[in-house]
Structure 1
């Protein structure tokens, strides 16, 4: 029977990912099998988890997934010694309206699975107030249990002592305190961390984080605080249909935002996936019956994509007879043009009339519920799809027919409906699951 913990914090940017990776690698170095998960719609952190543990990590999401689907996904941790679920944003941060079985908050997963929470607290610019914050989080929701706290970026031994004393008086365990240590900082860009596959030295960075955390955190105490747990997986798993039997999947530095659970669900349903690299001027497998272009960072590679004539003509030829679907960055590349942050316009594949620009960035962020007005690969008209949108591009033109009626988590109608033309479809949201 595995033991589970949730790693969370009062806010983003406090050090959840670094602590999760460090704990995972430190315990793995001790010979333990460690399984990680990511709470919420993040397609970058699971790759870091896999690098730290040697085991695939997937997302669990209370807004988009039902309880049966979540339990199906976490059941892969039954053979592990310790399971770590890394939260997103602050512990109780979610959307205003409840989704399938929650608001998307990390606390939903902690309560649902009965896993205690280890809080990462950054007491920079404060001392005893950090204990008040921790106590408030502990008491905010009765079904969520706090295991203890790891302090991050403490300024000095005196600073640590002040915070520790206050936490002890509040009855909150302190597992350790981490001084500032630049060598374990993970680099970021506008959509989050720089991806694990872009970091050749990721193994050394995680090793250093594990060494540093093992020196300052009581690993045994953290391990003892985990809750024993035995999931009851649902035989049907997630409601995720493959887009086809043979799927050509774009996969490189420009097309890398794929939820691992999606690929696993496709394969579990019997689909075969072949990958190709648009950046290497490759084309979809000619034997594939559908092509899928995931999101990523096409804006960082727009010039190269525009210059890769073989890829562009090959994709257009594929779309003459078979479906092509794009999500976010993939959707932009299916459009007519993409203007980068410097104002340079790059010609894209032209499967759709969509024109996008990063010259005037504006953040689009949030859950999306889409009811399809037309079919898209794997889903029929009327299907209700749950997903998440996060990008900084602006639509300059979108002349094609809308693909879906799209609402945000509060039920407000969204202008970004996706679009369709011939065999081509695309959306700005990343699909997580279909409503059962």
Structure 2
């Protein structure tokens, strides 16, 4: 059975992504068959995982994915691996609600599958107090096993010794001490890290992280504390039914936010995914029967998209008779216009009537439960879905299209009608992760 470990932290910004990448690279160097996953909704970190371990990473989301789907996704990811390394989002216990195993926290994954946790502690600005923080995490939930800590951003040998001695006195294993080094940080933009494909010298950067992990982290100790993934199921059911038999998928620097489990599920259901690039002015292939415009960073490429005449006219022709759906960035491109951060408006495809703007940034963030109002690429009218929003753009002109869905946030609070639909075209800022089926507890 594949062993697994969760690399978590008390909060975001502790350095768990760079530690995770270093661990993945160090394991791969040893010839270990390693795979990676990310807990929670995140498009960017899994691409870095894939670069470090040489295989695709997936998302494990205990709030949005029903138990059966979660079991299948983790089973499929673990199957070819000797060890599965799961990176936590935010802090280990950060989630929503109080439902056991359904909060969206990495702790849910740890408890459900009995996977040990290694806690990355940013010890800059503290010494012995770090042991008190770790001790609190060790005792917080008896179903979550914190197997040890990795000390990050250590200032000196003296600092390392002070923290390590306090951990020893508290009975907490120290599995690594990584010194403070600004060169080990990753560049960020408004949705998190700059995408892996845009990171100059990514291979060399990961090699350096592998060097640091191999030297400063007890990789043997990390392997030793890893535990078994239990209660998994074989096969991979689609998170969403494929919108067509041949799905044209926009795929380039402007459209890159697609959850791997959705594509894997579509393919398992017999669909073919055909990629095309709007940025190089490609239209969706005419032999496809559905088109999916995922999220990404269209606001960074709005001028090129506005000038992509073959893409726009081809998409309009496609949408006259076949399903087209846009998620988040894709939704922005389906609208009449997009205003970039500099306040410049760029004409978009006009398949829906709304206008969006990035000129006055406002964060829209959180889990969402959706009910579809009409049949569309996401499913049949009345279908319940779970997913999330994460964007800074706002709708400045709603247009006259009918709404796509009604939404509630993770607390069950009703939100305004969301998205738009017109003929075969639909779109919204909502990122769909999974349907809610009859056997899922959706309370």
After TM superposition, the score normalised by the length of structure 2 is: 0.96
Aligned equivalent of 2:94: 93
4+ runs deviating over 4 angstroms? none
CA displacement at 1:349 relative to structure 2: 0.4
CA displacement at 1:238 relative to structure 2: 4.5
Q: Distance in 2 between matches of 1:113 and 1:199?
A: 34
Aligned equivalent of 2:431: 430
Aligned equivalent of 1:8: 8
Q: What is the SS of the residue equivalent to 1:253? A: coil
CA displacement at 1:418 relative to structure 2: 1.1
- String of CA shifts for 1:195-230, please: whole Å, max 9, x gaps: 111224211111100101111111111111111335
CA displacement at 1:49 relative to structure 2: 1.1
Q: Does 1:396 align with 2:396?
A: yes
Q: Distance in 1 between matches of 2:282 and 2:239?
A: 31
Aligned equivalent of 1:411: 412
Aligned equivalent of 2:209: 209
Aligned equivalent of 1:181: 181
- String of CA shifts for 1:397-422, please: whole Å, max 9, x gaps: 11211111111101111225111111
Q: What is the SS of the residue equivalent to 2:408? A: strand
Aligned equivalent of 1:294: 294
After TM superposition, the score normalised by the length of structure 1 is: 0.97
CA displacement at 1:239 relative to structure 2: 4.0
CA displacement at 1:165 relative to structure 2: 1.2
Aligned equivalent of 1:255: 255
The answer to whether the 8 Å contact 2:238/2:268 transfers is: no
The answer to whether the 8 Å contact 1:416/1:428 transfers is: no
Q: Distance in 2 between matches of 1:379 and 1:97?
A: 29
The answer to whether the 8 Å contact 1:124/1:154 transfers is: yes
Aligned residues: 435
Q: What is the SS of the residue equivalent to 1:370? A: strand
Q: Distance in 2 between matches of 1:234 and 1:32?
A: 23
The answer to whether the 8 Å contact 2:43/2:258 transfers is: yes
Provide structure 2 residue ranges, at least 5 long, that are not aligned to the other structure. Answer: 438-443
- String of CA shifts for 1:354-389, please: whole Å, max 9, x gaps: 111111100000011100111111410000011111
The answer to whether the 8 Å contact 1:97/1:409 transfers is: no
The answer to whether the 8 Å contact 1:361/1:394 transfers is: yes
CA displacement at 1:96 relative to structure 2: 3.0
Q: Does 1:278 align with 2:261?
A: no
Provide structure 1 residue ranges, at least 5 long, that are not aligned to the other structure. Answer: none
